[in-house]
Structure 1
Amino acid sequence: VTVFENETPRLVYSKLSTHVFPDMRQVIATINQK
C-alpha cells in the first residue's frame, strides 16, 4: 500500500475504499445509516 503523504487518514481510507475495497463503500454506508 502506498503511503499518502500530507493527507488525512480519512482521505487515505477513502482512496483505499475506492480503489481497493469498492464493495466496502456500500457496507459502510449501511452501517452509517444505523
Structure 2
Amino acid sequence: MFLIIVIVTSIGSVVLYIAVYAMTRKNVRSARKIQMV
C-alpha cells in the first residue's frame, strides 16, 4: 500500500513539474516583460 502511494506521488510530481515547465516555457516572453518592469 505504501509503495503504491509513493509511486502515485512520484508520477504526480513529475506530471506537475512537466506542466509547470511547459507553461513557463510558453510564457517566457511575458515573464521577461514582468522582470523588466
Could you say which TM-score interval applies, normalised by the shorter chain?
0.3 to 0.5
Q: Point out the structure with max Rg over C-alpha.
A: 2
With the length of structure 1 as denominator, give the TM-score of the two structures. Answer: 0.36
Larger fraction in helix:
2
- Where relative contact order (Cα < 8 A, 6+ residues apart) is larger, the structure is 1
